[in-house]
A = this chain, B = another copy of it.
């Protein structure tokens, strides 16, 4: 698909995904938001709670550090416990250090006051932010995420992650939303390959994909057309349906 939208990557940090304990869902949520908003998501990675691995991934993915993509979004590892090492790794990757961010401290103090908690040393860990970063709002549980360079760091708890995404994305400079149309055919992928290829060749500015599935009544294939221009997408879908006599 031809696109001059800003490119993006998602980095998920968490042993619980790699151990199979938790099925990743944050990246899937953000992928949907990015498509709908006008960002071109090119890669997702999941790495373990390992300082060097996180630093290497950030450097490989964040263009402001010589990496591959215009924007990098991370999920996980910014809580209060010993295995929450994302802030330190992000600081390291961006050549800075971590300190208690005054605004973050105020946010945490206000929340503790409201709930009648003490702002313990562990709770204050959530105000440890790389020097030079700006905060990402957390309407769910207070402790903020942060942005530095082209890296946007968010929490792993799904409700909090979604809240941060919904706050952050409208504040970024997006391109054009992806337009897509799809049709389901009750044929195997082999039987539609020829027609799909022919239409794809005719519409090289679009992305045409086929996704086979199996259900109770046998095999079927979903055909999907994607692009930035709704009229072109509609035109290609019409051509595809004509060829397939749908």
Contact = CB atoms under 8 A, between A and B. Distances in A.
Contact of A31 (B17, B31, B42): B17
A45 B43 contact: yes
A20 interface: yes
Contacts of A189: 79-81
Grouping DSSP codes into helix (H, G, I), strand (E, B) and loop, the A interface class, with mixed when no group exceeds half, is mixed
A42 B19 CA distance: 9
B193 A16 contact: no
Interface string A115-135: 000001011011000000000
A168 interface: no
Interface of A: 15-25, 27-29, 31-36, 41-49, 53, 79-83, 120, 122-123, 125-126, 140-141, 157, 159, 178, 180, 189-194, 196-197, 200, 207-214, 219, 224, 226
Residue from A22, A122, A192 whose CB has the most chain B CB atoms within 10 Å: A122
A33 B19 CA distance: 9
Contacts of A123: 190
Taken together, the copies of this chain in the complex come to 2
Contacts of A32: 20
B28 A23 contact: yes
A31 B18 contact: yes
A37 to B, nearest CB: 11
Contacts of A35: 19-20
Contact of A44 (B17, B28, B29, B212): B17
